[in-house]
Amino acid sequence: MNDLIDRILGFLPHRGIFWTAVALCIVMFITRSVTNWLVEKVKLPWMEEKNQKQRKAFQEGNGAK
């Protein structure tokens, strides 16, 4: 029975390597989340999509006059 389990699970890395990879994935996810949050917080007003739409509509309105 142990031989069968070893054959099935034999491709998995050692426990220390596995937990290091899991921890690294968690750190990468947290870093990505914090980076995205910071980008949204420091975004200038003209960079926001709703303000770009308003600006474009305003420019089109002035161009028609």
Question: Looking at residue 31, what is its pLDDT?
Answer: 99
The torsion angles phi and psi of 43, rounded to 5 degrees, stand at -65, 130
Question: Looking at residue 52, what is its pLDDT?
Answer: 84
Question: Looking at residue 5, what is its pLDDT?
Answer: 74
Domain count, the chain: 1
Question: Looking at residue 6, what is its pLDDT?
Answer: 76
What whole-number distance in Å separates Cα of residue 22 and Cα of residue 59? 51
Question: Looking at residue 61, what is its pLDDT?
Answer: 83
To the nearest 10°, the Cα dihedral for 40, 41, 42, 46? 60
In 3-state terms, what secondary structure has residue 43?
A: coil
Range of the domain at 18: 2-64
Tokens encoding 61: 């309105």
Question: Looking at residue 64, what is its pLDDT?
Answer: 53
**pLDDT by 10-residue block (mean), the chain, 65 residues:** 76 83 97 95 82 86 64
